[in-house]
Amino acid sequence: MKQIECHDVCYAYDGEPVLRHVEFAIAKGEAVALTGPNGAGKSTLLRLLNGLIFPELGSYFFEGQEITKTRMAEHKFSKYFHQRMGYVWQNPDVQLFCSSVAEELAFGPVQMGLSAAEIDGRVQDALELFGLIRLQNRAPYTLSGGEKKKAALASIFTMNPQVWTLDEPLASLDDKTQDWLVEFLQALKEAGKTLLFSTHEERLLKQLADRQLLLSSQHEISFN
Ligand SMILES: Nc1ncnc2c1ncn2[C@@H]1O[C@H](COP(=O)(O)OP(=O)(O)OP(=O)(O)O)[C@@H](O)[C@H]1O
Ligand SMILES: [Mg+2]
């Protein structure tokens, strides 16, 4: 059993097929780049892997458990699942919803039922690591694009998920922040985390990916 398995997964929007017979598996600790042209279905596949939409045909297994609408409607299961699997959206605006950066970082750990001391420790560590200390009381919508991205990454970091899924993580970041983020992702990989990231960036393929999962415009999936 692999950590993530998709078998013959199909998904369509309003009858328009986007994912067609997608078949792949990812082992724990692998770093996999999800590639393919605009509109190939990368973001759709990441939403499906995060239990936000479900296969219309075929099946998706996470750590041996089939992820279905019924399963995700079980509060206890969905909580467990979201703790194991972090999702950094392409657009941080849809991810950040609290009234301050510090609250945003505490949200996941609070949901996990951690002690106040543990929550505070995680938030402080993340504020430091992501360079967000001076922004901690700011409302997320007042941050710059790059600052929002860091806050979104930090809000996943405080949950310490085993699997990180990231949609175009380098998009709209300056060179220095990109360098920093590549190093951060390399450190996650070295810590044994599983990474799946959609990207158009050559450097992520070279510096981070163990292999590539290509969603082609013909909707076939292949590895190299
Ligand atoms: N909510 C939606 N309703 C209808 N069609 C959608 C919806 N979301 C995505 N699509 C369509 O599904 C296809 C795949 O979209 P998706 O966002 O998954 O592609 P992508 O590979 O992430 O592209 P990009 O590289 O531009 O981010 C596109 O043709 C898109 O227009
Ligand atoms: Mg996309």
Q: Per-residue confidence of the chain (224 residues) as pLDDT tens digits?
A: 999 999 999 999 999 999 999 999 999 999 999 999 999 999 999 999 999 999 999 999 999 999 999 999 999 999 999 999 999 999 888 888 989 999 999 999 999 889 999 999 999 999 999 999 999 999 999 999 999 999 999 999 999 999 999 999 999 899 999 999 999 999 999 999 999 999 999 999 999 999 999 997 554 555 55
**What is the residue with the minimal CA distance to atom 4 of ligand 1?**
13
Q: Alpha carbon 162 to chain centroid distance? A: 11
HEC string for 19-54: EEEEEEEECCCCEEEEECCCCCCHHHHHHHHCCCCC
Least Cα distance to 158 among 106, 197, 113, 82 occurs for 106
pTM of the entire predicted model: 0.94
With contact defined as beta carbons under 8 Å apart, do 50 and 196 qualify?
no
- The answer to whether the CB of 167 is under 6 A from ligand 1 is no
Q: Which domain holds residue 109?
A: 4-223
Least Cα distance to 77 among 90, 89, 96, 64 occurs for 64
The enclosing domain of 109 has a CATH number of: 3.40.50.300
Return the pLDDT at 219. 47
Q: Which ligand is nearest to the CA of 214?
A: 1
| Number of structural domains the chain divides into | 1
Question: Residue 110 and residue 90: Cα distance in Å, rounded?
Answer: 24
Return all residues near 33 (Cβ < 8 A) that are at least 6 apart.
197, 198, 199, 204, 205, 208, 209, 211, 212, 213
- The answer to whether the CB of 38 is under 6 A from ligand 1 is yes
Q: Which of 44, 49, 197, 213 to mutate to test the pocket of ligand 1 (most atoms within 8 A of CB)?
A: 44
Taking the centre of ligand 1 as the mean of its atom positions, its distance from the CA of residue 105, in whole angstroms, is 29
Q: Alpha carbon 3 to chain centroid distance? A: 15
Phi, psi (degrees; rounded to nearest 5) at 44: -60, -45
